[in-house]
Every structure is written in C-alpha cells, then in structure tokens.
Structure 1
Amino acid sequence: MMQAGEPHYVLEDQVGFLLRLAYQRHIAIYAAKTPGDITPVQFSMLYRLMHERAPVSQNALGRLVGMDAATTKGVVARLVARGLIEKTSDDDDRRRHTLSITAAGRAVMENHVPLMRSVSAATLAPLDAAEQDLLVALLKKLT
C-alpha cells in the first residue's frame, strides 16, 4: 500500500519495462527483416568469432557477448551442429575448447551484417540522428 507523500509508481515510466518493450520491438523487426536462420545471439557469437584474430575459448566467447556459461554452451552446440563454427580441444588443456568460425559461418555473416544494419536502422527510426547517438551512448554507459 502506498504511503502518503510517496511518489506514485508508474509501470510505463520504469526503465526495465521500457527496455523490455524496446527489445520486443527490435526482435519483431529482426524477425521481419531476416530469414530466421540465426538468432540475434547466434549472430553476436558469429560476429565476435569473425573478428577475432585467433580461435577463442568458449568461456572467452561467452564473456565477449555477455552470456553465462550454460547459455553459451547451448548456443555453441547449435552453431557447431550447423557447421557455422568449429570446436577443437586446446593443445595445452584438453578440457578447454577453442572456437573458430567456418567458411559456412562467414557466408552466413556476409548475408546478415547488412541485414543487421537495416534492423538497427529500423529500430532507431522513430528517433532523429542526435537522439539515436544519445540512446546508443546511454545504453553503452549502462552496460
């Protein structure tokens, strides 16, 4: 129960609620503009692997995309099964796995990078250029 003098709580003004709505909008745009062959999380992993100079450990890849170990393991397993990334045992520590993008993974990324630019542009379309830059800067500050 709200006490006298307490500010009224308005769900529609709460950052978590607004971020969730913005994310839902972004995902709907993603679904409409992409062929649906990879998820946004898979795109992030493939993108990171494509831009690393050497194979990356599974744990490091998870950290690079801000994902916990269990989720990383599942996403990696799906990408390996599809032949988009290659998983090899580390020469120094057989328990450790390194990951690298395959030629098939690179081909998927060549198609998806322009699509993702389009998804981002559509997501930000209601904002003018200055607002777009500010939103991205503020989100970076929060993360």
Structure 2
Amino acid sequence: MAQDEKYVLDDQIGYLLRKAYQRNAVLFSEKVQDLTPTQFAVMARLTELSSVSQNQLGRTVGLDVATTKGVIDRLLARGLVQTAPSPSDRRRQLISLTEEGWRFFMQKAQLGLEVSEDTLAPLTQSEKRNLLRILRKLQ
C-alpha cells in the first residue's frame, strides 16, 4: 500500500457486500419467516433441477458439503424434500422436493421475488440491471 493510501472500511467490497447481504437477510426474515435464505435457495434450485445428488445441489447454490447436508437434513425433517437411490449409482442419493415441498415453495416464491425487489428498491432500473450484471461477472 502506498504511503498516501489508507484503508477505509466503507470503501471495501467485502464490507459493502456483507452490509448489502445483511439488509437482504433482514428483509427475507420479515417476509419468509419459516425458511432461511439458504433453505429457500436449495428449494428454488430443486424446482429447476428436479432430482439431483446432494453434492451437485450444493455446488449449484454455492454451499460446502457440510452446510448442504445440514440444510437437506432440516428440509427432510420437515417433509419438504425426499431422497431416493440413484438408478445409476446405488451409493448416491438423489434429492428432490416432495409434493408438499413443491406446494410450499410455490407459495413462498412470490415472497422471494418481493425480497429481491425490496432489497434493490433504493436503485434506479438502470442501476439494478448494472448491479446484477456486475455481480454475475464477479462470480
């Protein structure tokens, strides 16, 4: 770091992303009171993928193996997901939504859209598009 540069926390990307995520998490918990954002993301991905291995599911939502297992265990206990042996590899379990899980998620999906809308509310339409484009690029 150059002599004239100083570290300003309020200008750091990690700090700003964390603060934006905290805002989103508060809005999420106010609207979707019976799922965590991670559980919601897992269920959303299962609506897209239908039936998938636990490892692949975790990778598609950016979770490590232990976190994915914990989320799946909690959703299993609530009867929202189910497991079945893979027809191609009996050692692998495939995860899918139960009928109840599918209905439950469909009831909550609109709330998830509202959370995203509320999170982005301070931005103009152009800023929203640019932010989402930039965040996708950073992935």
2:94 to 80, 98, 103: 98
Q: Which digits, 9 at most, give the CA deviation of each residue in 1:113-133, with x for residues without a partner?
A: 100111001000000000000
1:123 matched to 2:113: no
Residue 24 (structure 1) shift: 0.5
AA in 2 matched with 1:29: L
- List gaps (5 residues or longer) in structure 2: none
Q: Which residue pairs with 2:105 in the alignment?
A: 109
Secondary structure of 2:82's aligned partner: strand
Q: Which residue pairs with 1:41 in the alignment?
A: 38
Residue 90 (structure 1) shift: 2.1
Residue 33 (structure 1) shift: 1.6
In 2, distance between residues paired with 1:79 and 1:135?
32
1:26 to 19, 24, 27: 24
AA in 1 matched with 2:36: T
1:84 matched to 2:84: no
In 1, distance between residues paired with 2:84 and 2:97?
11
Q: Which residue pairs with 1:75 in the alignment?
A: 71
In 2, distance between residues paired with 1:117 and 1:93?
36
Instruction: Give the TM-score, by structure 1 length.
Output: 0.91
Matched residues, number: 139
After TM superposition, which residue ranges in structure 1, 4 or more long, deviate above 3 angstroms?
A: none
- List gaps (5 residues or longer) in structure 1: none
Residue 89 (structure 1) shift: 2.0
Query: Identity over the aligned pairs, expressed in percent?
Result: 46
CA RMSD of aligned residues (A): 1.4
In 1, distance between residues paired with 2:87 and 2:127?
48
Residue 93 (structure 1) shift: 2.7
1:137 matched to 2:133: yes
Q: Which residue pairs with 1:6 in the alignment?
A: 4
Which has the higher Rg, Structure 1 or Structure 2?
1
Residue 94 (structure 1) shift: 2.8
In 2, distance between residues paired with 1:49 and 1:136?
22
Secondary structure of 1:87's aligned partner: strand
Secondary structure of 2:84's aligned partner: strand
For 1:53-68, list aligned pairs within 5 A: 54-68=50-64
Q: Which digits, 9 at most, give the CA deviation of each residue in 1:40-93, with x for residues without a partner?
A: 1111111111122x5211111011111111111111111111110111122343
AA in 1 matched with 2:92: R
